[in-house]
Amino acid sequence: MSAPSLLTAPYGMHQPAFATGYSNVRYRPAPPRTGHEYSESLDAVDRLALSLADLCRSAVDPLAIVAGLEAEGYNDRTAWERFGLPDLFALAEELHRRVPRDLDPPHPSPPSAPTGTARAILRGLLFATPSLSAMAFLVADVNGIARVTLAVVQVLAWGYGQGIAHLAYARLNAADRPAARRILRVGTVHALLISVWLLGGMELMLGTPLTALVPAALSLWFSLAAIPALVLGLEFQLAATLGPAVLGAVATASGASADVALVGSQTSTAVAITFMLWITRTEKAAEPEVTQREMRDLVPHALSGLGIGALITVVLAGPITTGHGLVALHAAIMLTLSMGVGEWHARWYQRRVSLLLFTLADPAQFPQPATRLLMLALLRKTATTSALAATAYLLFDRGSPGAFDLYLYTVVLAPGLLAVLFLRGIDAKAALWPIGATLIATVVALPSHDTAILVALAAEFTALVAIRAADATARPWVHL
Amino acid sequence: MEILLVAEGTYPHVRGGVSVWCDQMIRGLRGHRFHVVALTATGREPAVYERPQNVVSVRSLPIWTMRRPAPQRRIARRPDPSAAIALLDATLSHAPEASEQFESALFELFFQARRLTDLGEVLRTDTMAKALATFWHRFHDGAPDLRLADALAALDLIEHALRPLAFQPPDADVTHTVSNGLAALVGLAAKWTHGTPLIIAEHGVYLRERYLALGSEQLGWPVKSIVAAFTRRLCETGYRNADLITPCNEYNQRWEKRLGADPAKLRTVYNGVDPERFPPAESEPDEPTLVFVGRIDPLKDLHTLLRAFALVLEELPAARLRLFGGAPPGGEWYLEECLALVKQLGIERAVVFEGPSSAVSEAYAAGQVVVLSSISEGLPFTVLEAMACGRPNVGTDVGGVGEAIGDTGLVVPPRKPSELAQACLTLLTDHDRRRALGLAARERALELFTITRAVDTFDEIYRTVAMSATYVAPPAKSGAPSQQRPLRTGLAA
């Protein structure tokens, strides 16, 4: 009868990035010999050392060998009868003395393989579907109030999703996958029901045309249903649910009725919701207890998600009112793609920082290269977003009034969004005031239609969060 | 009396042998009031045991939450790293006095955790990472530098392990921890706060099990080394400060003495079973049947049992093997391995994995002989229950199995299928001897291994320890309260 211990984290709580090169230790039984001569010249302890070489060379001390020997079924009696030693402790010390540990400087082992590039990009794309879908329906011909309301619903859903995801991640980190699934299920179903209520209310009160409402609802529901799959790491399966929508869109583009695309979207959304219900099923229907403290902890995550969603929507939706809806849609698609690439940059940064931790011994040597890596990641994000923006501009919107400024806005904003991602991982609260301040300033500046001001505000936002992220990531262990 | 019962990762949130024991103790000791402190992973674990009426409070002490426990009265000043540095020094040092230095540093950190700051602010700093690297270099001659990732991982684990120090324990008459290690930290906090005497019960051996667990952890060798050293010092401190240590078998005392436990403070208290729940099995099955009752787990070494049974079948083709018990979550792979081995050995027709059984006494009655092929045990309930049912055991000579069985069954070396098979054959074929051993087993169980006996023993221990315990605080440095604490002299306190 033995009891479990909490001294090491429950499985899954630690990043599996602690593997080191110490496993290079080798048992070295004097000169190598083979066959008959070998077995005769070794005494019983040597033979035992050979048979338990892995245990002996990786043991941190003789007591670890005693524990291993007992688990192999050895006891004091066998130590005496087979090896002539008084007890197991003496046998373990003898084994520890005979089996050397190789203390050659180990090569830094790279941390476990990061998520693949394709998965990272896909994840980013799917994660950013709300902005894409928001733009898609905001260009529809609906009246101003309905459009604003649709945007608000979409942004609220995004923030809500961030909060739910944070709660679920906390459960996953505590190796409590069933509770994470239950939270995702309950949270998503509630969000779906609330959205039905809100959209129904809009229809009744504002008379929003169904041609605008239905696509909006479908994209919103897909976005909500996507959250559990993204949290649980089922990006490829989630992407597969988009199949009918893609097929419908292709058919419509090839000359079929627009209804085919609509049916495809409906099917995709229905499949995504079914998929969400399937992957979040749990054996026990017990409600996971969410403490007040957890609710307080998730607020910064939800607020920052809300703020980012609002920041993107309010600016890219703004030009629609001045007749640049298609340009805004293109810019939104471009920004969405850049967020996917941003996920790849984030993985690149995490991997490099992990390698740094496995290379350095002195913590004082960490901040400078870590900050350099952060800046490099932000520059990479700027470069890829610029390339995407330039391509979109040249292909679709060259010469369109206001298009250049709109694309410039997204290019300047994009590295800030990546910095927020880094910052939230360490200190979620620190991201709040740059987001809040920029959002307020942007809303105030929006009626002027002065895109230069908006670009300046985006630049200021990016600079602020980059500085904060640099501070937090220079010595992350202090903040965690 | 008021008893502070401290369990780590078991009662009342997880089912298992230790939790059964806790439940038995609390329900049996109705004259005492229990304050249960459960060290948990997240604090959200639901209780799976019904709360007995004499449990005054149940407090969950989460170790792995993101948010750290805050001190009860924060005094605004910069965290002093000297105690934490001294703790790391004593953790890695091989000097004879290191263990006492560890205790002294732990006491300082206890004071800091309670009054000054959260220990995370002290431990998660550049200073501590550098200190750890320095000590690593000093005490691991020839080893490469400790890399920052390893230092931070080790400090993280130590910070989590020290969280029980911040706990404000109730003023009980006795602290009874169900294991050493983190649970003992709560006991030490109670001792340093109220002078409460400390009893450490051990069902396995805490340090031994941590070594085994660390072996399979996804941690680097330096991290394992540091954490093992920390755990060892912690266990030494627990043993040294315990007023009484109660292992559940004699064999485990070897570890306890090795880690500095005073032999005069060691007292083996056997686990007990309820003879009414495990009445004598009235009849034997028609076919010669071996029974295994327990988890389908590598520690039970069912491969050896299956290989032994294959040998039994060669001699006794009518023999059957029935295994009662399920695989724990995450351990299903071992059941699959066993099933594959059954197929490989060609013994499918005679082996049945029955799964978990709610009527355990009927499981023992399903065979003539109960077999346990474990490679590691404390004092397994399955052996005691089989004895209470009047069934002879064939068990492996590990932990307290031999002590429990005595001369009422056969004990063989572990991992020896042929010897296990021979012992099983002996009892299956010698009816008179088997029945005689079964009767003797029942008598031995009633004499030594009843709940009543275990409960009465602890009742007596509580009273004795509370009356006689003396307390001397460890030497403390700056900031800590007076080293002289009032001696707790008994029930009046």
**A400: amino acid identity, one letter:** S
Contact list in B for residue A77 (CB cut-off 8 A) is: 397
Q: CB atoms < 10 A from the CB of A389, how many?
A: 25
The pLDDT, as a whole number, for residue A147 is 67
- Contact between B217 and B224 (Cβ < 8 Å): yes
The pLDDT, as a whole number, for residue A40 is 45
Q: Which residue has the higher pLDDT, A113 or B90?
A: B90
Which range, of A134-143, A255-264, B102-111, B337-346, averages the lowest pLDDT?
A134-143
Q: Percentage of residues in chain A with pLDDT exceeding 90?
A: 24
The pLDDT, as a whole number, for residue A443 is 86
pLDDT at A249 over 70: yes
Which range, of A392-401, B138-147, B163-172, B312-321, averages the lowest pLDDT?
B138-147
DSSP, collapsed to helix, strand or coil, labels residue A221 as helix
- Contact between B163 and A379 (Cβ < 8 Å): no
Give how far B132 is from chain A: nearest CA, Å.
10
Give how far A97 is from chain B: nearest CA, Å.
15
DSSP secondary-structure letter at A39? H
Structure tokens at A405: 């400024």
Confidence category of residue B3, pLDDT binned at 50, 70, 90: very high
Where does A34-138 have alpha helices with state H? Answer: 35-41, 44-51, 53-58, 62-71, 76-83, 88-98, 117-127, 129-138
Residue of B nearest to A16 (CA): B218
The pLDDT, as a whole number, for residue A42 is 56
The pLDDT, as a whole number, for residue A113 is 44
CA separation (Å) from A35 to A39, A42, A54, A56, A330? 7, 11, 21, 23, 74
pLDDT at A8 over 70: no
Average pLDDT estimate for A249-268: 86
Average pLDDT estimate for B253-263: 94
Nearest-CB residue to B398 (from A22, A66, A75): A75
Give how far B227 is from chain A: nearest CA, Å.
9
Q: Which residue has the higher pLDDT, B382 or A162?
A: B382
DSSP, collapsed to helix, strand or coil, labels residue A231 as helix
Residue of B nearest to A172 (CA): B42
The pLDDT, as a whole number, for residue A24 is 28
Three-state SS string across chain B, please? CEEEEEEECCCCCCCCHHHHHHHHHHHHCCCCEEEEEEEECCCCCCCCCCCCCCEEEEEEEECCCCCCCCCCCCCCCCCCCHHHHHHHHHHHCCCCCHHHHHHHHHHHHHHHHHHHCCHHHHHCCHHHHHHHHHHHHHHCCCCCCCCHHHHHHHHHHHHHHCHHHHCCCCCCCEEEECCCCHHHHHHHHHHHHHCCCEEEEECCCHHHHHHHHHHCCCCCHHHHHHHHHHHHHHHHHHHHHCCEEEECCCCCHHHHHHCCCCHHHECCCCCCECCCCCCCCCCCCCCCEEEEECCCCHHHCHHHHHHHHHHHHHHCCCCEEEEEECCCCCCHHHHHHHHHHHHHHCCHHHEEEEECCCCHHHHHHCCCEEEECCCCCCCCHHHHHHHHCCCCEEEECCCCHHHHHCCCCEEECCCCHHHHHHHHHHHHHCHHHHHHHHHHHHHHHHHHCEHHHHHHHHHHHHHHHHHHCCCCCCCCCCCCCCCCCCCCCCCCC
Peptide bond before B285: cis, by omega within 30 degrees of 0? no
Cβ separation B218–A16 shorter than 8 A = yes
DSSP, collapsed to helix, strand or coil, labels residue A186 as helix
Q: Which residue has the higher pLDDT, A65 or A153?
A: A65
Q: What is the pLDDT of residues B385-415, one digit of tens each?
A: 999 999 999 999 888 899 999 999 999 988 8
Q: How far apart are CA B40 and CA A123, in angstroms?
A: 34
Structure tokens at B467: 């009356």
Contact list in A for residue B9 (CB cut-off 8 A) is: 3-6
The pLDDT, as a whole number, for residue A114 is 45
Average pLDDT estimate for A447-461: 86
Angle at B350 between CA B349 and CA B354, to 5 degrees: 100
Q: Which residue has the higher pLDDT, B265 or A396?
A: B265
B177: which strand partners? B6, B200
Say how far residue A160 (Cα) sits from the centre of its chain.
16
Give how far A171 is from chain B: nearest CA, Å.
9
Q: How far apart are CA B279 and CA B165, in angstroms?
A: 45
Give the end-to-end CA distance of chain A in Å, rounded to a whole number. Answer: 36
Structure tokens at B188: 């030490």
Q: Return the residue matching tokens 């290191």.
A: B98
Cβ separation A358–B182 shorter than 8 A = no
- Contact between B446 and B440 (Cβ < 8 Å): no
Region of residue B406 (left: phi > 0; alpha: psi -120 to 50; beta: else): left
The pLDDT, as a whole number, for residue A9 is 46
- Contact between A348 and A129 (Cβ < 8 Å): no
Cβ separation B213–A361 shorter than 8 A = no
Q: Which residue has the higher pLDDT, A438 or A11?
A: A438
For the whole model, what pTM was predicted?
Answer: 0.82
Average pLDDT estimate for B358-371: 92
The pLDDT, as a whole number, for residue A222 is 86
Average pLDDT estimate for B55-82: 76
Which range, of A106-115, A133-142, A281-290, B428-437, averages the lowest pLDDT?
A106-115
Structure tokens at A46: 């040597």
Nearest-CB residue to B204 (from A2, A7, A288): A2
Nearest-CB residue to B124 (from A61, A173, A480): A480
Cβ separation B413–A16 shorter than 8 A = no
DSSP, collapsed to helix, strand or coil, labels residue A317 as helix
The pLDDT, as a whole number, for residue A286 is 53
Q: How far apart are CA B164 and CA B162, in angstroms?
A: 6
Q: What is the pLDDT of residues B307-357, one digit of tens each?
A: 999 999 999 999 999 999 888 776 788 999 999 999 999 999 999 999 988
CA-nearest of A312, A332, A334 to A446 is: A312
- Contact between A3 and B15 (Cβ < 8 Å): no
Average pLDDT estimate for A239-260: 86
Contact list in B for residue A301 (CB cut-off 8 A) is: none
The pLDDT, as a whole number, for residue A37 is 41
The pLDDT, as a whole number, for residue A284 is 59
Q: Percentage of residues in chain A with pLDDT exceeding 70?
A: 78
pLDDT at B153 over 80: yes
Contact list in A for residue B270 (CB cut-off 8 A) is: none
Average pLDDT estimate for A90-98: 93
Identify from A54, A58, A70 which residue to disrupt to test chain B contact, counting B C-beta atoms within 10 A and taking the largest count: A70
Q: How far apart are CA B482 and CA B192, in angstroms?
A: 11
CA-nearest of B114, B105, B103, B45 to B75 is: B114
Residue contacts between A and B (CB atoms, under 8 Å):
230
The pLDDT, as a whole number, for residue B293 is 94
- Residue B147: Cβ-neighbour burial (10 angstroms; 0-12, 13-18, 19+): buried
Torsion angle (degrees, nearest 10) of CA A434, A437, A438, A440:
160
Average pLDDT estimate for B93-116: 90
The pLDDT, as a whole number, for residue B46 is 81
Give how far B432 is from chain A: nearest CA, Å.
30
Cβ separation B146–A361 shorter than 8 A = yes
Average pLDDT estimate for A424-436: 87
- Contact between A72 and B415 (Cβ < 8 Å): yes
Give how far B318 is from chain A: nearest CA, Å.
30
The pLDDT, as a whole number, for residue A107 is 44
DSSP, collapsed to helix, strand or coil, labels residue A207 as coil
Q: What is the pLDDT of residues B184-225, one digit of tens each?
A: 999 999 999 999 999 999 988 899 988 988 877 778 888 999
User: What average pLDDT does chain B have?
Assistant: 88
Q: How far apart are CA A199 and CA A208, in angstroms?
A: 9
Nearest-CB residue to A70 (from B217, B224, B376): B376
Region of residue B278 (left: phi > 0; alpha: psi -120 to 50; beta: else): beta
User: What average pLDDT does chain A have?
Assistant: 78
